[in-house]
Amino acid sequence: MRSLPCFCRGQVVRGFGRGSKDLGIPTANFPESVVDNLPADISTGIYYGWARMDNGDIHKMVMSIGWNPYYKNTKKSMETHVIHTFKEDFYGQILSVAMVGYIRPERGFKSLVTHGCVFLPDELIAAIHSDIEEAKIKLDLPEHLKLKEQHFFKTPVSTTANQILNGHRL
């Protein structure tokens, strides 16, 4: 994918409350304004990369880009699971991510909702955990580690919310 690494920034909004947090895999959602501006060659699926909340530390992440059931699958969603344990939720904060590599096509993070209950098959949970392990290993490669030093992660975030910056233009 030509657009990788892809740098995105936006405020964390509420998702559709699919209860992924209860399963130990919370996913922070980007607003539509960020999703709508993704480069055209970024396809749906699971990505790995770096994430930072507001002006905090940079952590490893996995991201699912998929079709948003709330809009009858006509709109995409971008959901980031930060590989770090936070003391509190961070709705409303600015999430900055560098999408670095692609793991696999969409299948992950998608849950079946039946009569208001969330159903995630064990197989799917195992797949997500294996995505997380793959992300951890790949991100330790020198060419990926150096992305943490990008100007994008050094600047204070407040004035630059809701952006997509193609890495090649930075």
Residues forming contacts to ligand ADP in the complex (CB under 6 A) are 12, 14-21, 26-29, 81-82, 84, 86, 89-91
- Angle CA(151)–CA(90)–CA(94) in degrees, nearest 5? 30
Q: Judge whether 79 counts as a catalytic residue.
A: yes
CB of 59 to ligand ADP, least distance (A): 8
DSSP at 162: S
Where does residue 65 rank: exposed (0-12), middle (13-18), buried (19+ CB within 10 A)? Answer: buried
Binds 67, which of Mg ion, ligand ADP, none (CB < 5 to 8 A, cut-off by type)? Answer: none
- Residue 78: how many other CB atoms lie within 10 Å: 26
CB of 125 to ligand ADP, least distance (A): 14
Catalytic residue, chosen from 79, 88, 134, 149, is 79
Catalytically active residues, by annotation: 79
Binding site for Mg ion (CB under 5 A): 15, 27
